[in-house]
Amino acid sequence: MCLAIPGRVKEIYPDHTADLEIGGVIKKASLELVPQASVGDYVLLHAGFALEVINQKKAEEIFQAWEGK
Amino acid sequence: MKYIDEYRNKNLAKIILKQIDGLSHQPINLMEVCGTHTVAIFRHGLRKVLPPHIQLISGPGCPVCVTPIRYIDEIIAFAREKEFIITTFGDMMRVPGSTSSLEKEKAKGADIRMVYSTLDALQVAEDNPFKKIIFVGIGFETTAPTIASAILKAEKEKIKNFFVLSMAKLIPPVLKGLLESKEININGFLYPGHVSTIIGSQPYSFIASQYHIPGVIAGFEPLDILQSIYMLVKQIENNQAEIAIQYERAVKPEGNEIALARMKKVFNQVDSDWRGIGRISRSGLEIKEDYHPFNARKFAVEIEETREFEGCRCGEVLRGIINPPQCSLFTKICTPENPRGACMVSSEGTCAAYYKYGNNI
């Protein structure tokens, strides 16, 4: 039940909701918990709410750690 | 999909597995606390590819599974009253109560609606001003802020027919309960990534300092889980006990402070009953007095007497003491089509995962 999936913020509306693009599908999400999110960011969507903005730099570290080993 | 596909890279998985194998050959028991991890581990066949001395044990992190029958009966009691519309996440529909389930009540005519979000439940309230809308507030710290947000929104927008039946639960207290029971022998914890997105890493620190058990907050893709296991085994080999974050792209040490503030505003931490585990101190969330108008428990409903199904060993499965095949009902009487316990109903239940992915064990 704690599933959350990454989606890209496409458009932000004045009521703190946004359109997220997830695998080519547009889903509505509330950005109330992540007011810092901007268009182009990836956020984690859980039960209609974005829980966090994905940290792109941190996301790549796993590959730097293991590639070439 | 970005942030998913690249974390399923088979070549990197092989490299990490080789490194894990090279680290240690002593028997190691790791508990994956979260039901979403259990499903990911089975789906990707990770148990099968890990070295045999590393055992993964499923923990109590499936909200549907740990909700006691009495709470299911409570929802059913509301559903049987014509003045209410029940809104719930779909997972709850088939969970057996003492004599019925939400699915059965719906078939008999109760107005029960599956929603994807608390905001959808609020919308049902706005669309049905002459009905009382009950939202079944089940979930852990991941979901609790979304429940709190809906209550705050209902207050702000003066929606007076929206009520929450809070069944929300907290992960760190139940882990403390499990450790205190001394029934389990765990060398390391894979902590839930999305619960930790909200709470951060600090709430687990007592497990490292008081029980000397290391923990890693893990993401949900195969490379995340394998890297987390590597980080845990390394700590165990070095006799370290720290809380590390593998899922750094989504988890900050301090968590999501806005979400935490909302939870704190709306909920009190209260003692709570966990199915198969018992009452755990300060492990549940109840709506604060300030938000009493939105608390469904202000209405009196008659809850039937609790009847447990004999032979169901869901509780021992939830505590990580037995594996589902050790239960005599498993696959013989209890199946996903005809579940006897909640661990078989929820897609995240350990019994359901064993049933579905039996070949991947």
For residue B298, what pLDDT is reported?
97
For residue B361, what pLDDT is reported?
56
CA distance B167 to B162: 16
Number of domains in chain A: 1
Q: Is the pLDDT of residue B348 over 90?
A: no
The ipTM, to two decimals, is 0.97
For residue A54, what pLDDT is reported?
98
Number of H helices and E strands in chain B, helices first, is: 16, 11
A56–chain B Cβ distance below 8 A for any pair: yes
What's the pTM?
A: 0.96
Given pLDDT bands bounded at 50, 70 and 90, which one contains residue B270?
Answer: very high
Of residues B220 and B320, more confidence is placed in B220
How far, CA to CA in Å, does B358 sit from each of A2, B17, B210, B321? 23, 22, 36, 19
Q: Give contacts of B258 with chain A, Cβ < 8 Å.
A: 32-35
CATH assignment of the domain containing A9: 2.30.30.140
Given pLDDT bands bounded at 50, 70 and 90, which one contains residue B234?
Answer: very high
Residue B256 to residue A51, Cβ atoms within 8 A: yes
Q: Which residue of B has its CA nearest to A7?
A: B2
For residue A4, what pLDDT is reported?
96
Give the start-end residues of each E strand in A1-69.
5-12, 17-22, 25-30, 42-46, 49-53
Low pLDDT (below 70) residues in chain A: none
CA atoms within 13 A on the CB side of B248: 12
B7–chain A Cβ distance below 8 A for any pair: yes
A10–chain B Cβ distance below 8 A for any pair: no
How far, CA to CA in Å, does A60 sit from each of B129, B217, B220? 49, 17, 15
- The residues, any chain, with a CB within 8 Å of residue B175's CB and separated by 6 or more, are B33, B59, B189, B204, B207
Q: Is the pLDDT of residue B215 over 60?
A: yes
Q: Is the pLDDT of residue B307 over 70?
A: yes
Residue B145 to residue A49, Cβ atoms within 8 A: yes
Pairing of strands A49-53, A42-46: antiparallel
Q: How confident is the prediction for chain B on average, in pLDDT?
A: 95
Give A42 to chain B, closest Cα distance, Å.
9
How far, CA to CA in Å, does B113 sit from each of B84, B86, B118, B307? 11, 6, 12, 26
Q: Which residue reads 């907050």 in tokens?
A: B217
> Would you say A1 and B36 are in contact if contact means Cβ atoms under 8 Å apart?
yes
B122-180: per-residue pLDDT in tens? 999 999 999 999 999 999 999 999 999 999 999 999 999 999 999 999 999 999 999 99
- Domain housing A47: 5-66
Q: Which residue reads 């195969």 in tokens?
A: B222
Amino acid symbol at B36? T
